[in-house]
Amino acid sequence: MTGEREVVAAALIRDGRLLLAQRTRPPELAGLWELPGGKVEPGETPAAAVRRELREELGVEVTAGERIGADVPLHDGLVLRAYRAELVDGTPQALEHAALRWVDARELGEIALVDNDRGWVPELVALLGA
């Protein structure tokens, strides 16, 4: 066993705004905002996981681009990594989240993100061209 399993998170940016999704669970994270994503399945590439997770969670088709920001170690040997994503088809819908929001750089600095995603804010602000 190599041990490490990856969780991908997608930075979907359009017209200078980043898509954030509001969690419904677990109770301690409900109401907080995150980059949409989830666990890479065995045998799946991170890029394929980004495409699958955004299809499942938002109902859109995306392409996955370069990694951004630092690795975030999670519990149980999981590591969280962020990737850029480009919208190819569809309009994001909150299929598994409480709500979605497109935020600009200023709003990103003010919104209540999950702790795990907070370290990416400087890179995300730079991508938003603030």
Position among 5, 6, 34, 104 found at the interface with ligand C5P (CB under 6 A): 34
What separation in angstroms does the CA of 42 have from each of 68, 71, 74?
22, 19, 18
94 binds ligand C5P (CB under 6 A): no
* Token pair for 77: 């040997």
Position among 6, 17, 32, 39 found at the interface with ligand C5P (CB under 6 A): 39
Peptide bond into 92 cis (omega under 30): no
111 binds ligand C5P (CB under 6 A): no
Position among 7, 58, 100, 124 found at the interface with ligand C5P (CB under 6 A): 7
Position among 114, 121, 125, 127 found at the interface with ligand C5P (CB under 6 A): 114
Furthest C-alpha separation in the chain: 43
Q: Which residue blocks in the chain are alpha helix, DSSP H?
A: 46-58, 105-110, 115-118, 121-127
The distance of closest approach from Cβ of residue 68 to ligand C5P in the complex, given in angstroms and rounded to an integer, is: 12
The residues binding ligand C5P (CB under 6 A) are 7, 9, 34-35, 37-39, 74, 80, 114, 116-117
